[in-house]
Chains A and B, each alone.
Chain A
Amino acid sequence: MIFLKLIVTNLRRHRIRSFISVAGIAFSVAAMLTVVTILQGAIGMFSNILSSDSQIIVFERNVSDLFFSNVPPSVSAQVAQWPMVQHADPVLFGIVSSADHPIITCFGVTAEDARIRKATWLAGDRGSFAQHPDDVVLGARAAEFLNAGVGSDVPIGHGVFHVIGILKTANGFEDGGVFMPIVAAQSFFHKDGSSVITVKLRSKDDTAAFKQMVREHYPSLIALEDAEFSRSYSQFKILKATAWAVGGCGLLLGGLGVANTMIMSVFTRIREIAILRVNGFSNTQIAAMIFGESSIVSVFGAFVGLGIGIGILFALKHVPALDGYVDATLRPLILLIVVVLAFLTGVAGALYPALYAMRIRAVEALRFE
């Protein structure tokens, strides 16, 4: 209890300094949590697009981005015929733009695609999809920002398309996208195949056999399970690395704040540390006191930061312009990692001050005024 009081006493002595350190860690944690959660959410949403009613994605081997993948047009029809395949749907991804909206995701799909089948149609009729090459279906948000309804003609890229339906999905990318028949998309993007084929197998047990068949029949393509794809896709890796790097930089700044506080803390209590030494405190006990102080700062900062981060995510989720784009689902693993990183940052920040404190010579420090 007295040991704990020795730790807390110093934090209470310099309340403003302690508050600034806690705030530094808190904002670092909030930044890390927000950035990582949003990017993980975005990755999750993009993964969901790919895994819509499917287990496996087939795409061109060694492409850095799925937008550059080109799966030959005959492949999806051939794969669909394989006995273990329940259905195989070609999907062509493209980026288009319209006035005021530089980026709109375009999905070239068949009428049987789960995105069309399983979506909630707010207007229009699924049966009319892919009847005419100039017909498109808009996601609810796309319809909103393009100010279009069923029957409208909307300029997209270099063409003008006729809106035949509006659908609502839980996915922000899909909700803000344009769905067009795959044939129309191939023509629009000057591509003869698709970006990917999403495949649903009759039994998951056939996964290995399916991958093997893809390897044998189409050496230039690769088949990956959804989870496997999410782990290995380089764009996702870059995004994740960026998120953690940005968050890490924030935490590093917070850690420097803790280090500064702890150095000041040790410098202002040199005499006190000497007194403890003369009264039998060991190096370990002195270090434990310094680390205890930094741990309290960092753990308290981490929890305040989590509160701030969760608040920011909640607020972002309710910003109309970001509706569907921000998946603010808190992942326990991320929360744990963020708290542990904050704690480690605090401990790292106290390393030098603790070493300094351990080296204080009582005989000299007692002369220190």
Chain B
Amino acid sequence: MTSPGIAIKNSGAVVLRAQDVWKSYDDGAIAVLRGVDFEARAGETVALCGPSGCGKSTLLHLFGGLDEPDRGHVSVNNVAVNRHRNLLRLLRHEIGFVFQLHNLIPDLTLEENCMIPAVAAGTDKHVARERLHELAERTGLEHRLGHRIQKLSGGERQRTALCRALMNRPKILLADEPTGSLDEKTSATVFDLLLDVAANEGVTLLMATHDRGLAERCDRLLEMHDGRIHEPRRA
């Protein structure tokens, strides 16, 4: 089911789908999602805008299998996201996450941080290293591979997080305020990179953001408030 009025820009297959999704916290005291319907097609870039607490991150978490809806259905690539059955495959091969806080492991080097998804998935070391160099080259981090995270700037850290998210060649990228902790200039650079990589890798990007300026550069911009997606708008 698709919400009336939500424009589908391209004709690719639906890769993300939420149908009448409800989610609340504190035993129902805090209702975050109230019957959300959403679809995203392969290769689309979609921005979710809205005030803090409106449910943007929650929706991303549901698509990533990090949380479960109280009601409704969430599917990725037409397979229901089930925390117990498909979650590992989903996280290892189908979805990549980028968070506001880069969430890198400080004691490891840039290279080691990026290799974590490959280790988790049991990817061949040489294949993984090749992929890392490809991503590092694209994100301008090649000269920083052996550096510890503490030695990297905010922008470099977020680019590292992007590399890590794309290591296993996922076709969907869920970005939760990916530029939220960066200054304006760095923010624009990282966002450019995000769009560039998404286009080059054919990745579907679903991004939660407060930055309407950046959001408008996506294929679609959706507004969330009161637990619903309200005003779809073409970018």
Q: Which residues of B contact A5 (CB under 8 A)?
A: 108, 112
> How far is B99's CA from A281's CA once the two chains are assembled, in angstroms?
17
| Beta-carbon contact of A280 and B168 below 8 Å | yes
| Beta-carbon contact of B121 and A280 below 8 Å | yes
Question: What is A's interface to B at a CB cutoff of 8 Å?
Answer: 2-3, 5-6, 9, 12-13, 271-272, 275-282, 285, 361-363, 366
CB contact under 8 A between A2 and B112, given known A275-B103, A366-B99? yes
Q: Which residues of A contact B119 (CB under 8 A)?
A: 2-3
Q: Nearest-CB distance from B82 to chain A (Å)?
A: 15
Given contacts A9-B105, A279-B120, A280-B91, 19 further A-B contacts (CB under 8 A): A2-B112, A2-B115, A2-B119, A3-B119, A6-B105, A275-B104, A275-B105, A275-B116, A276-B116, A278-B64, A278-B97, A280-B88, A280-B92, A280-B117, A280-B120, A280-B168, A362-B66, A363-B61, A366-B103
> How far is B106's CA from A271's CA once the two chains are assembled, in angstroms?
12
A278 closest partner in B (C-beta) = B97
Q: Nearest-CB distance from B128 to chain A (Å)?
A: 10
Q: B27 near A: Cβ within 8 Å?
A: no
Q: Which residues of B contact A280 (CB under 8 A)?
A: 88, 91-92, 117, 120-121, 168
> How far is B121's CA from A276's CA once the two chains are assembled, in angstroms?
11
**Chain B interfacial residues counted at CB < 8 A:** 23
Q: B20 near A: Cβ within 8 Å?
A: no
Q: Nearest-CB distance from B20 to chain A (Å)?
A: 21
A269 closest partner in B (C-beta) = B105
| Beta-carbon contact of A2 and B116 below 8 Å | yes
The 0/1 profile, CB within 8 Å of A marked 1, for residues 132-164 of chain B is 000000000000000000000000000000001
Q: Nearest-CB distance from A90 to chain B (Å)?
A: 72
A369 closest partner in B (C-beta) = B101
Q: Nearest-CB distance from A295 to chain B (Å)?
A: 18
Q: Nearest-CB distance from B226 to chain A (Å)?
A: 22
> How far is B168's CA from A275's CA once the two chains are assembled, in angstroms?
16
| Beta-carbon contact of A9 and B107 below 8 Å | yes
The 0/1 profile, CB within 8 Å of A marked 1, for residues 55-66 of chain B is 000000100101
> How far is B103's CA from A366's CA once the two chains are assembled, in angstroms?
8
Q: B219 near A: Cβ within 8 Å?
A: no
Q: B211 near A: Cβ within 8 Å?
A: no
| Beta-carbon contact of A281 and B107 below 8 Å | no
> How far is B103's CA from A277's CA once the two chains are assembled, in angstroms?
12
Q: B67 near A: Cβ within 8 Å?
A: yes
> How far is B66's CA from A363's CA once the two chains are assembled, in angstroms?
5
> How far is B101's CA from A366's CA once the two chains are assembled, in angstroms?
9
A362 closest partner in B (C-beta) = B66
CB contact under 8 A between A279 and B91, given known A2-B108, A2-B116, A13-B107? yes
A277 closest partner in B (C-beta) = B91
Q: Which residues of B contact A9 (CB under 8 A)?
A: 105, 107-108
Point out the residue from B61, B112, B117 that lies within 8 Å of A279, measured CB to CB.
B117
CB contact under 8 A between A279 and B164, given known A2-B115, A362-B66? yes
> How far is B65's CA from A282's CA once the two chains are assembled, in angstroms?
13
> How far is B107's CA from A191's CA once the two chains are assembled, in angstroms?
76
Q: Which residues of B contact A272 (CB under 8 A)?
A: 105
The 0/1 profile, CB within 8 Å of A marked 1, for residues 88-128 of chain B is 10011000010100011101100010011101110000000
Q: Which residues of A contact B107 (CB under 8 A)?
A: 9, 12-13
> How far is B104's CA from A271's CA once the two chains are assembled, in angstroms?
10
Q: Nearest-CB distance from B154 to chain A (Å)?
A: 17
Q: List 17 A-B contacts (CB under 8 A).
A: A2-B115, A9-B105, A9-B108, A272-B105, A275-B104, A275-B105, A278-B66, A278-B97, A278-B103, A279-B97, A279-B116, A279-B164, A280-B91, A280-B168, A285-B120, A363-B61, A366-B66
> How far is B160's CA from A168's CA once the two chains are assembled, in angstroms?
76
| Beta-carbon contact of B120 and A281 below 8 Å | yes
Q: Nearest-CB distance from B192 to chain A (Å)?
A: 24
Q: Which residues of A contact B88 (CB under 8 A)?
A: 280, 282
B107 closest partner in A (C-beta) = A9
Q: Nearest-CB distance from B148 to chain A (Å)?
A: 11
Q: Which residues of A contact B116 (CB under 8 A)?
A: 2, 275-276, 279, 281
Q: Nearest-CB distance from A361 to chain B (Å)?
A: 8
> How far is B204's CA from A244's CA once the two chains are assembled, in angstroms?
62
> How far is B120's CA from A9's CA once the two chains are assembled, in angstroms?
17
Q: Which residues of A contact B104 (CB under 8 A)?
A: 275
A13 closest partner in B (C-beta) = B107
> How far is B104's CA from A5's CA once the two chains are assembled, in angstroms?
15
> How far is B112's CA from A281's CA once the two chains are assembled, in angstroms?
15
B83 closest partner in A (C-beta) = A361
